[in-house]
Amino acid sequence: MKVLSCLIPALFMLSGCVSDSPEKPTKEVYVSQKDIPSYFDSSIMKDVDWNESPVFSYDSLELRGEEGKVAILSTPWKADTVNKYMWFLFGDSIPSGNFSVIAVKKDTGAVSKALVLPDSKQQGWSIGSVGTAVDRRFDMPAAMSLPSKGL
């Protein structure tokens, strides 16, 4: 679980986010340090390469991430809008446990919830569990929203 919770935030932030429209101000909604889940170690952020992750093809899909490890369907992000994405985990040792995504803003280091809980507009740290891989791959659909544009 710890591996998954550390790997996912790093990939998540390597995708840029643009605002839905130039005129629409985005909201800055971040959580206080005491509300951040205990499994998130913010010290891993000092080693993040803030360049966008590369795009690669897999099963005729365009994915963004680390080929053979973790990726997300490569589609544009829009700030302050619920977007639906498909996550892909690859390999022989896919971690088990809850699927968590934590957003960290490059310029400020501010932490926010990224996942939108199913059948709700509430945001959360985790949704569902990582299941059994099929052919060394596990797919996880997720609705997500980022509070503002940026990396």
The dihedrals phi and psi of 76, each to the nearest 5 degrees, come to: -65, 145
Give residue 59's Cα distance to chain centre. Answer: 21
Whole-angstrom distance, CA of residue 87 vs CA of residue 72: 4
Whole-angstrom distance, CA of residue 3 vs CA of residue 56: 23
In the chain, count H helices and then E strands. Answer: 1, 13
Q: What is the pTM of this model?
A: 0.73
Going residue by residue through the chain, which has 151 residues, state the pLDDT in tens, using 9 for 90 and above.
444 444 444 444 445 555 444 444 444 455 667 788 888 888 888 888 899 899 999 999 999 999 999 999 988 888 888 989 999 999 887 888 888 888 998 888 889 999 998 888 889 898 877 877 778 888 888 999 988 888 8
